[in-house]
Amino acid sequence: MNLEPAFPLQRRSRWSGLGAFIGTELRVQLHEVLSIGVSVIVQAVFLVFVSVLARQYLPYTIIGAVVFSTFQIGQRVQNESAWIRIDHKLHELYHASPMTPEAYFLGMSIGILLAYCAPILVLSGAAEYFVRFSGTAALIFLGVLACEFVFTASVGYMISTWFRNMRSIWPYSTLFFNFFGVLPPVFYPLWLFPSALQPIILILPTAGGTALVEHASGLLALPLDWILIAAVSLVGGALLAFVGAVYWARRISRER
């Protein structure tokens, strides 16, 4: 007996629906003009204080501001994913569509990045003005920002699936992103951090990525083993987080 369907189902591409969801998320985020504008308030406050009180540290602070702005994308991904799943109840609808779980996660992340790229570009232009990156340093800067984005968007998406209401997410979200972005040497030079903990703190992607950019720009001298710690932690963390987010997106879609 022939059990084959009369109309065989077409196999979906792994990234089916990615472009459409990037456009959808971008249009949604661009309606939040005020949110985009105030996304750099913390960075602006740090820059004002440093420029007035310790101007010699301004190049370090402005590089850190760009890294932190990129890292904040993860918080936006986390909030948006939780908002869609908890408040709007659209999570299952998206996963029931031809869009794949990978496209859902990555489309949301890239759409948010594109919406919030204007403040990042402004800060990057200011960093170029104050630091004057060489070609190599600029490429390393771009690579660091790409890794920061992949890491933070992946972690933010995974965290968003662990909670059942929005109120529970906010305090943990604030603690997580402050721990990674404000307390480590991101807005200030590595040498101001306790010396015994300096190679350890480079394991964090924000601190390690900022140190790599500062080293490439000639602002910070790092021994070779510290460079390897920072680079391996940054790239390895981004890859592991991305694989984890893709796995988690598939698992959540099967549990709908």
The pLDDT value recorded for residue 12 is: 57
The pLDDT value recorded for residue 161 is: 78
If the chain, 256 residues long, is cut into consecutive pieces of 10 residues, what is the mean pLDDT of each piece?
A: 46 72 86 84 89 92 94 86 70 68 87 92 93 94 96 88 72 76 89 92 94 95 95 95 87 62
Closest by Cα among 149, 155, 147 to 231: 147
Q: What is the pLDDT of residues 129-181, one digit of tens each?
A: 999 999 999 999 999 999 999 999 999 888 887 777 666 677 777 777 778 87
The answer to whether the CB of 188 falls within 8 A of the CB of 57 is yes
Write out the DSSP string of 20-50. HHHHHHHHHHHT-HHHHHGGGHHHHHHHHHH
The answer to whether the CB of 36 falls within 8 A of the CB of 51 is no
Q: CA-to-CA distance for 236 and 78, rounded, in angstroms?
A: 21
Domain range list for the chain: 18-254
- pTM tops 0.85, yes or no: yes
